[in-house]
């Protein structure tokens, strides 16, 4: 049994004890060292990843050969390449651990089987997809409407613990500016 996963699901839908057992039986526990890849460009995404411990980043390499982080996956978050899963096409993204991580893999085949057997899980995954979409919309608005310094200040105020976990160059990539710019902002604050 995976109490962290079950607690997360219970925030949105209720499952019977038998459904919880069935769900947990379909999950695969994976352990990764720091900087290991869950997914690389050109490969098919295997499923949805639920982070039990550690930290994962999703990124791509731009045409200018710059690493651009799209999202992070912290404890009790799902992370995946939805486009690769939905369209059954090779991914354009990397999924890589930032810290040693324990992750549950729910393959797409097992997710479909579970949603058939446990209809409330279909609702749960719809809610997760909606929340991810809202977060992505907010991030786009955030990137378009705030200056680099405003983005940094907001992020520092909202997520101080997270900022301590992530290397400076990754934080800069996620916030959409260079590590050098981030150094200058931090120097101004001191």
Residue-level pLDDT at 160: 87
What are the residue ranges spanned by the domains of the chain?
3-145, 146-190
- Could you tell me the strand order of the sheet in which 101-107 lies? 28-32, 101-107, 47-53, 78-79
Rounded Cα–Cα distance for residues 149 and 128 (Å) = 30
Q: Which two tokens stand for residue 97?
A: 């651990």
Residue-level pLDDT at 189: 63
Residue-level pLDDT at 187: 80
Alpha carbons within 13 A on the beta-carbon side of 36: 12
Q: Which two tokens stand for residue 86?
A: 């939905």
Spans in the chain with pLDDT lower than 50: none
Q: What does the radius of gyration of the chain's CA atoms come to, in whole angstroms?
A: 18
pTM attached to this predicted model: 0.92
| CATH code for the structural domain at 3-145 | 2.60.120.10
Rounded Cα–Cα distance for residues 111 and 103 (Å) = 16
Q: What is the pLDDT of residues 107-161, one digit of tens each?
A: 999 999 999 999 999 999 999 999 999 999 999 998 999 998 899 888 889 888 8
Rounded Cα–Cα distance for residues 60 and 65 (Å) = 9
Residue-level pLDDT at 190: 54
Element (H, E) at 183: helix 179-189
Q: Which two tokens stand for residue 119?
A: 């209809």
Residue-level pLDDT at 55: 97
């Amino acid at each position: 049994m995976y109490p962290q996963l079950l607690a997360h699901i219970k925030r949105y839908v209720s499952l019977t004890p038998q459904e919880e057992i069935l769900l947990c039986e379909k999950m695969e526990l994976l352990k990764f060292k720091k900087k290991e890849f869950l997914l690389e460009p050109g490969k098919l995404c295997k499923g949805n990843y639920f982070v039990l411990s550690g930290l994962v980043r999703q990124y791509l390499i731009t045409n200018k050969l710059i690493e651009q982080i799209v999202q992070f996956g912290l404890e009790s978050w799902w992370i995946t390449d939805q486009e690769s899963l939905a369209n059954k096409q090779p991914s354009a993204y990397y999924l890589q651990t930032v810290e040693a991580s324990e992750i549950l893999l729910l393959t797409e085949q097992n997710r479909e089987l579970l949603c058939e057997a446990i209809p409330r899980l279909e609702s749960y995954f719809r809610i997760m997809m909606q929340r991810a979409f809202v977060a992505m919309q907010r991030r786009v608005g955030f990137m378009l409407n705030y200056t680099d310094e405003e983005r940094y200040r907001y992020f520092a105020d909202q997520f101080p613990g997270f900022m301590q976990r992530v290397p400076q160059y990754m934080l800069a990539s996620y916030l959409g500016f260079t590590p050098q710019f981030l150094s200058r902002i931090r120097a101004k604050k001191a």
